[in-house]
């Protein structure tokens, strides 16, 4: 029995070799000196903010001077946490920063996103100003200045004596190789905006646009920096991208989610299972109770349709997913006992459950499956 199974009812395993493999796969596609921003926002997509940052920082030889390493986070809170944990690499906040917290970025050497005139005004009011990049809205219509705003933006920057260190955008559909026209149009718009800023006297801007989709599928968009997220963790950004690339590019999932069998029992034919009595047993059935539920991030939508691995076999979830436990069908061969390992995400013997599979069962995205795993679950680094 694994040590984790003795002390934890559920845990996450992080495969450091898989993480490093995925970095190598992507950096092979980059020109030398292209900056590599590892996007570790939102608790590193469920993998652990500080754990992933520390693993990548420790293996700086993967990047060296050829691909300077940055980290992309969602908030000033995540950035400050990394500084507290000893991360010295450049940190970039992708999300909105509250005006009252802008000044915190100065002492911690954190680079911020500025995507509205209101944020620009708040920044200009500071005596000491942090480094910042300008976000351009090229068609996704979330954050950012539109192309029609650029001349007004330039005027505001010069009036406030502000000089951005970079300029960037985000693609809406770069993960679909079969539909490049919108991405190409966004990229052209971005290049126009960047050219206007350069012409206005803002030199040496770091230009970046490519997240995982752009990094893998649109090499012309790499520019001065790429920002891979999902691919870093071993998943193609879409099924279309996987079909297009998997035969020549091997990404490996970094995260496995495991638990233990908490109880085994035999339920008689005709009895019901779980809340709302949604399933009735057509025959005597051996079931296992697993101490995870939707509080842990095992989606309630997986009720009666999700599968886990026990004894190297797929075991269907029975009835409702509860807050803190699920029941699974142990019939169909094999012997399971209390304390046996359960794989919720990952491999066991020859079987594997992936985030993409789970997402398909409940009509969502694998991004949501892994990101919503409860961050309090114990994590183990393996190599």
State the average pLDDT over residues 321-346.
94
User: ∠345-14-297 over CA atoms, to 5°?
Assistant: 45
Catalytic member of 155, 158, 179, 275: 275
Does the pLDDT of residue 371 top 70, yes or no? Answer: yes
Q: Does the annotation mark 275 as catalytic?
A: yes
Closest CA to 369 of 23, 36, 45, 11: 45
Cα gap 46→375, rounded to integer Å? 7
pLDDT tens digit string along 166-225?
999 999 999 988 889 999 999 999 999 999 999 999 999 999 999 999 999 999 999 999
Cα gap 152→127, rounded to integer Å? 23
Mean pLDDT (the chain) is 95
Q: How confident is the model at residue 324 (pLDDT cuts 50, 70, 90)?
A: very high
Does the pLDDT of residue 254 top 90, yes or no? Answer: yes
Catalytic member of 41, 135, 175, 258: 41
Percent of the chain surpassing pLDDT 90: 90
Chain mean position to CA 42: 7
Look at residue 92 in the predicted model and tell me its pLDDT: 98
Does the pLDDT of residue 26 top 80, yes or no? Answer: yes
Cα gap 124→248, rounded to integer Å? 48
Does the pLDDT of residue 64 top 60, yes or no? Answer: yes
pLDDT tens digit string along 154-169?
999 999 999 999 999 9
Indicate the pairing of strand 285-290 with strand 263-267: antiparallel
Q: Does the annotation mark 135 as catalytic?
A: no
279: Cβ–Cβ under 8 A, 6 or more apart, which residues? 272, 273, 304, 318, 319
Closest CA to 380 of 1, 59, 11: 11
Look at residue 288 in the predicted model and tell me its pLDDT: 97
Does the pLDDT of residue 60 top 90, yes or no? Answer: no
Give burial (CB, 10 Å; 0-12/13-18/19+) of 175.
buried
Closest CA to 28 of 173, 187, 231, 179: 231
Q: How confident is the model at residue 6 (pLDDT cuts 50, 70, 90)?
A: confident
Look at residue 2 in the predicted model and tell me its pLDDT: 66
CB 136 within 8 A of CB 167: yes
Q: What is the dihedral of CA 13, 14, 17, 23, to 10 degrees?
A: 150
């Amino acid at each position: 029995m694994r040590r984790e199974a003795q002390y934890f009812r559920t845990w996450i395993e992080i495969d450091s070799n898989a993480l490093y493999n995925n970095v190598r796969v992507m950096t092979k596609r980059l020109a030398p000196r292209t900056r590599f921003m590892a996007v570790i926002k939102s608790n590193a997509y469920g993998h652990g903010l500080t754990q992933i940052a520390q693993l990548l920082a420790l293996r700086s030889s993967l990047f060296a001077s050829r691909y300077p390493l940055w980290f992309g986070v969602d908030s000033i809170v995540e950035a400050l946490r990394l500084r507290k944990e000893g991360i010295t690499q450049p940190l970039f906040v992708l999300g909105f920063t509250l005006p009252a917290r802008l000044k915190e970025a100065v002492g911690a050497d954190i680079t911020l996103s500025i995507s509205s005139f209101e944020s620009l005004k708040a920044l200009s009011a500071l005596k000491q100003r942090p480094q910042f990049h300008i976000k351009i809205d090229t068609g996704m219509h979330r954050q950012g200045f539109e192309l029609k705003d650029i001349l007004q933006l330039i005027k505001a920057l010069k009036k406030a004596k502000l000089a951005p260190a970079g300029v960037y955008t985000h693609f809406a559909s770069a993960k679909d190789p079969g539909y490049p026209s919108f991405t190409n149009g966004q990229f052209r718009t971005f290049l126009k905006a960047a050219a206007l800023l350069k012409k206005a006297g803002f030199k040496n801007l770091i230009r970046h646009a490519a997240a995982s989709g752009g990094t893998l599928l649109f090499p012309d968009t790499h520019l001065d920096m790429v920002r891979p997220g999902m691919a870093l963790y071993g998943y193609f950004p879409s099924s279309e991208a996987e079909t297009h690339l998997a035969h020549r590019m091997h990404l490996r999932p970094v995260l496995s989610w495991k638990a233990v069998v908490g109880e085994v029992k035999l339920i008689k034919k005709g009895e019901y299972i779980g809340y709302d009595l949604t399933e009735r047993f057509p025959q005597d059935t051996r079931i296992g109770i697993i101490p995870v539920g939707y509080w842990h991030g095992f989606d309630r939508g997986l009720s009666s349709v999700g599968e886990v691995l026990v004894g190297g076999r797929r075991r269907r979830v029975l009835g409702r997913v509860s807050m803190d436990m699920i029941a699974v069908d142990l019939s169909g061969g094999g012997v399971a006992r209390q304390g046996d390992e359960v794989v919720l995400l990952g491999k066991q013997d020859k079987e594997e459950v992936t985030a993409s599979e789970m997402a398909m069962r409940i009509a969502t995205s694998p991004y949501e499956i892994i990101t919503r795993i409860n961050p309090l679950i114990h994590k183990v680094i393996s190599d």
